[in-house]
Amino acid sequence: MTKSAPGIPGSLSIRHLPGLRGVPKSDLEAILDTAQSFREALDSGAAVPKTLTGVSVVNLFFENSTRTRLSFETAQKRLGASPMNFTASGSSAAKGESLRDTVRNIESMGAEVFVVRHSSAGVPAFLASQTGSVVVNAGDGACEHPTQGLLDALTMRQHLGSLEGKQVTIVGDIRHSRVARSNLWALSTLGANVRLWGPATLLPRHSEAFGPKVQVAKSLNQALEEADAVMLLRIQHERQSSGLLPSLREYRHSFGLDGDRLRLAKPGALVLHPGPINRGVEIVSEIADGPQSVILEQVTNGVAVRMAVLHLLAGRNTNV
């Protein structure tokens, strides 16, 4: 078990973070508490412990990314690491080398942490079983995106306090969203009640698998009613076949969030979106940029959450 650095609380019982399914509540809270400490240090300009100094971190991105990749790199550098970046197009993977061989070869060069993003579900979990290094999932197919789920939970917790008993609504393409899956596991474990809504073809086939705190609403109005927080999801065109949804115009009319619909939620309800935003489709600009939106706070919290995960899984005690 990784020891905490001075001034930063928490420790974890898990060795890797392939997803949030099955992660104990105590571990989730340790990550969120640690991330909050990092966020406060970053906001105040205080020095943070360089617990990744001397730790070899490799970012294995087999799928394109902007926010997640830059956020992980920023977190790694804040903690003192000098990350190495891998892209499949310029590697032996393009020549047919297996994932297992790629990781084992890089591990032989001294890699201690792999941050993995891949278009196929289950890759980070598979790699965690093949290596002695720490593996952190930066998004795998339509399976999970655990650090996104954690930063969303942190953002909500900062505004709502404990998430126990809070009502969170998620609207959009839930079936194909790895963000939604990680949020469902995290929020239900932390005690929140979650309502889902979207086109019937884009709802999860077995929502009951997430437990009794997750339910599919009967209408958009019911989904939004008395919600403490509302999360919008974009249409995952790259992970679905055609014919699963109406036209974007019809989608906007039936499922998009505007001011009138937001008034069905609690006064001051938070508005979240993992990005990228399709303005005028799942959310209008007045709401995305309005006073209830915490979308940019989610991005800022992403650095703190990724710092917390890396620190707790791979950090070393240091006096720096």
Band of residue 168 on the pLDDT scale cut at 50, 70, 90:
very high
Q: Decide if 16 is inside a domain.
A: no
pLDDT bracket for residue 159 (50, 70, 90):
very high
Q: Domain check: are 174 and 139 in the same one? A: no
Query: pLDDT band at residue 318, thresholds of 50, 70 and 90?
Result: low
Q: Is the pLDDT of residue 9 over 60?
A: no
Is 193 among the domain residues?
A: yes
Claim to verify: residue 212 and residue 124 sit in the same structural domain: no
Residues 212, 244 share a domain: yes
Number of domain units in the chain: 2
Q: 276 and 168 in one domain?
A: yes
Domain that holds residue 190: 146-299
Q: Looking at per-residue confidence, does 235 or 1 come out higher?
A: 235
- Average pLDDT of span 20-34: 97
- Pairing mode, strands 193-197 and 84-87: unpaired
When pLDDT is cut at 50, 70 and 90, the band that residue 2 belongs to is: very low
Q: Which two tokens stand for residue 315?
A: 């950090």
Does residue 7 fall inside a structural domain?
no
Let me know if residue 60 belongs to a domain. Answer: yes
Q: What is the pLDDT of residues 81-90, one digit of tens each?
A: 999 998 766 5
CATH number, domain containing residue 69: 3.40.50.1370
Same domain, 132 and 245: no
Buried/exposed code over 237-272 (b: 16+ C-beta within 10 A; e: otherwise): eeebeeebbeeeeebbeebbbeeebbebbbeebbbb
- Assigned domain for 195 exists: yes
The better pLDDT of the pair 66, 113 is held by 113
pLDDT score, position 248: 83
Burial class (CB in 10 A: 0-12, 13-18, 19+), 143: buried
Asked whether the predicted pLDDT for residue 10 surpasses 70, the reply is no
Residues 151, 294: one domain? yes
Are residues 101 and 190 both part of a single domain? no
Reported as a pLDDT band with limits 50, 70 and 90, residue 5 is very low
Q: Are residues 126 and 168 in the same domain?
A: no
* pLDDT at residue 191 in the model: 98
Q: Where residue 221 falls among pLDDT bands split at 50, 70, 90?
A: very high
Whether residue 226 has pLDDT greater than 70: yes
138 and 178 in a single domain? The answer is no
* Structure confidence at residue 296 (pLDDT): 97
Q: Using one digit for the tens of pLDDT, what is the confidence trace for 289-308?
A: 999 999 999 999 999 999 99
Tell me: do 247 and 257 sit in the same domain.
yes
Dump pLDDT digits (tens) for 180-201: 999 999 999 999 999 999 999 8
pLDDT score for 243: 53
Question: Is 13 within a domain?
Answer: no
Which tens digits make up the pLDDT trace of 169-182? 999 999 999 999 99
Q: Is the pLDDT of residue 94 over 60?
A: no
- 168, 226: one domain: yes
- The per-residue pLDDT for 160 is 98
Helices and strands (DSSP H and E) totals, the chain: 11, 9
Q: For residue 5, is it within any domain?
A: no
Mean per-residue pLDDT of the chain: 91
3-state secondary structure (DSSP) of residue 229: strand
DSSP for residue 59:
E
Residues 173 and 282 in one domain: yes
What's the length of the chain?
A: 320
Instruction: Report whether pLDDT(249) > 90.
Output: no
274 inside domain: yes
